[in-house]
Copies of this chain bind each other. A is one copy, B any other.
Amino acid sequence: MTQAQTDPQPRKMSRDTRRAQLIEATIETLALRGYARTTLTEVARTAGLSHGLVNFHFDTKEKLLSETLALLAEEYRLNWQAYLERAGADPAAQLAALLLADFDPAICTPARLSAWCSFWGEAQSRPLYQAQCGANDAAYNACIAEICGQLLEQGRYEGDPARVARVLRVTIQGVWLDMITTTPDYTIEEGLATIHACAAAFFPRHFCAAGLIP
């Protein structure tokens, strides 16, 4: 977060450090003010820097926003892939890991959720969204569909893998949206419970309201 205002920050920092700092400030500003009122001056002030620096490091506002979205997409991808890797080979455990991943406290913060929502809401940024997230989204979809397919087969459940996978995915997205738009007090636990209820409906012998059945 901002160590702004009263800081004797080292004047010169590595390019990457400054860029990361500005991107983080962009996420915060998107969350706090929304896409429409996110100005370079506001981003710079949140980072405790002057607005000229934004153009120095990113050339244009568009590139700043583009790289912000790229960062969000990349950290999202790394997160679920890490969870998946730790889950082993069992499809039920893999699915449980994927569901947990999206509620990891590093990913599922108010600021990041709001920032995502800002990008979704901005029609202008939809081609940008496709460019930055299309490949990742496709990989995620293929992955969760594959896992659901295995689990359906293993548990002799009925259902179309692609549709079950899509329900799980959009339920997560819908819960995310809920966490942003509804009045405060929607905890990560409640979000997880909702998605686990959904998983339990499709895979009652593998999931319950509390999550994966051991």
Chain A residues close to B by CB (< 8 Å)? 30-37, 114, 117-126, 129-130, 134, 137, 159-160, 163-164, 166-167, 169-175, 177-178, 180-183, 193-194, 197-198, 201-202, 209
Q: Collect the chain B residues with CB atoms within 8 Å of residue A134's CB.
A: 183
Q: Hey, which chain B residues are within 8 Å of A118, CB to CB?
A: 121-123
Task: Give min CB distance, A85 to chain B, whole Å.
Answer: 26
Chain B residues contacting A209 (CB-CB under 8 Å) are: 159-160, 163
A124 CA / B34 CA spacing, docked (Å): 6
* Residues in B neighbouring A31, C-beta threshold 8 A: 123
Query: What would be 23 A-B contacts, judged by CB atoms less than 8 Å apart?
Result: A31-B123, A32-B123, A33-B123, A34-B35, A34-B123, A36-B36, A37-B124, A117-B120, A117-B121, A118-B123, A120-B180, A121-B121, A126-B180, A129-B181, A159-B197, A159-B209, A164-B197, A166-B194, A167-B171, A167-B194, A167-B197, A170-B178, A198-B198
In the complex, the count of this chain's copies comes to 2
Q: Which residues of B contact A119 (CB under 8 A)?
A: 121
In the complex, chain B residues whose CB is within 8 Å of the CB of A171: 167, 170-171, 174, 198
How many angstroms between the C-alpha atoms of A30 and B121 in the bound complex?
A: 9
Q: Which residues of B contact A160 (CB under 8 A)?
A: 197, 209
User: Which residues of chain B are near A30, meaning CB under 8 Å?
Assistant: 123
Contacts of A164 in B (CB 8 A): 197, 201
Closest residue of chain B to A182 (Cβ to Cβ) is B137
A134 CA to B125 CA, complexed, in Å: 28
Q: Determine whether the beta carbon of B159 is less than 8 Å from that of A169.
A: no
Minimal beta-carbon separation of A193 from chain B (angstroms): 7
Which residue of B is nearest A134, CB measured?
A: B183
Nearest-neighbour CB distance to chain B for A195, whole angstroms, equals: 8
Residues from chain B with Cβ under 8 Å of A167 in the complex: 171, 194, 197-198, 201
